Amino acid sequence: MNSIFEPIDVGMVADARNIYSARLLTDPQFEEFVSICAILNREIHRTGSFIEKLGIYAFVISLTQKGISANRAETIIRDLFKALFGQTLDQLRQRLLKTAEELDDESIAMGVPYAYEVLQMIEGDPEPGNDPDPMPFHRAYAHQAAVMATQLSITDVAAKKIISEEFKTLEGRDFYEEGKQFEDRFYQPKIRADKHRRDALKGSNSNRETA
């Protein structure tokens, strides 16, 4: 599967290099801060939160980068994030949450086909271009939630909630339990078969070495 997330625009990175907070950074330091901004951008899109990870990364930088305190690191991250993405960390968070609150019924109803796509991915999809191998529930659920979230400009967490609730409304069954049942039927047998083949191959190779 291809990533549904676009890389940071090269032009935005070049402009961000010249902002006040970034001018004294070495190139490796700047690259590290840009990477952290990308991680925080994804975290906000995923969960709608950033405070905890921002604090952790700022603290780690203060431990590993001489002359950069945690407070300064946080300031640099916040300034660079705005330069790279055109909005502050909190503005992005608020926009995604507001969009989720204002979704119309048609958008919310999209949770049903996404729920079925999750189950299809667990079962394995023989269609050309898709993954034919069964997939664990948590991975399939996360992937389809991210696709839906990108389409509707909401967080992955909000998309997961919609998928689960819409499936329950239509089918009358808990989506998590349904997904785990599919996993037991389609994914777990493949895992056991793969393990059996690996063990058999390992035993065969071991016999050759001792012969």
Model confidence at 1, pLDDT cuts 50, 70, 90, reads very low
Question: Considering the entire predicted model, what is its pTM?
Answer: 0.85
210 vs 12, more confident: 12
pLDDT tens digits along 77-127: 999 999 999 999 999 999 999 999 999 999 999 999 999 999 999 998 766
Per-residue pLDDT at 70 exceeds 50: yes
Look at residues 71, 100, 98, 103 and name the one whose alpha carbon lies nearest to residue 87. 98
Residue 203 CA to chain centroid, in angstroms?
Answer: 38
Give the whole-angstrom CA distance, residue 200 versus residue 210.
16
Could you give the 3-state DSSP secondary structure of residue 65? coil
Task: Tell me 206's DSSP state.
Answer: H
Percent of the chain at pLDDT above 70?
Answer: 90
Assign residue 86 a region (left: φ > 0; alpha: ψ between -120 and 50; beta: otherwise): left
Tokens standing for 142? 């996360």
Within a 10 A sphere around the Cβ of 96, how many other Cβ atoms? 22
